[in-house]
Structure 1
């Protein structure tokens, strides 16, 4: 009986904490290229869509590619972050962030090489 209660609580916790973090690649023993806190206010009755574009600087070398991307939703809302161009294996990335209706955006974005 205790096992079923534990499973029910675990499933409830997973449903309640339905936030949209984006994890791609790896950050294990990788150099952090960028850490940026992206924050935008809400628009009344509209979804907010913003883009974050990043290119690996030449000082890191032209052969460097992106090995890991982490976009952490700080508001724990239903906002999403998707890679629309580049990404893993490329030296650039375009990250599209979309909020819920009438909600702002707040993401911590890490990019690793």
Structure 2
């Protein structure tokens, strides 16, 4: 009986903790091209929307493309990050970041090729 109570409490804790991290592609055996700490301040009573643009540098060689994207939400709020153009299989990326109402935008962005 105690096992069922523990399991129910664990499931409830997992359901309550909600994150809005974005994971696309893979980083297994891939070279990290970019790590950026993206931070924007909040606007009172409003959601903030910002775009993050990235183009693969020529130093990584012709024909290389993005194989993995990770946008990790550091605020643990209902912020979101979505790929609007480019992304996996392309050599460029536009990431649209939207904050929760009245909160900062703070993402760790990792890109792998």
Unaligned runs of 5+ in 2: none
* 1:42-63 deviation line (CA, Å, top 9, x unaligned): 0011101011110101111120
Residue in 2 that maps onto 1:78: 78
* 1:12-38 deviation line (CA, Å, top 9, x unaligned): 221222010001111111000000000
Q: TM-score, normalised by structure 1?
A: 0.95
Deviation at 1:66, TM superposition (A): 0.3
Residue in 1 that maps onto 2:5: 5
Residue in 2 that maps onto 1:96: 96
SS in 2 for 1:7: helix
Q: TM-score, normalised by structure 2?
A: 0.95
SS in 2 for 1:107: strand
CA distance in 1, matches of 2:48, 2:11: 30
Residue in 1 that maps onto 2:63: 63
Larger mean CA deviation between 6-15 and 77-86 belongs to 6-15
CA distance in 1, matches of 2:62, 2:48: 34
Residue in 2 that maps onto 1:54: 54
Deviation at 1:8, TM superposition (A): 1.4
CA distance in 2, matches of 1:76, 1:16: 12
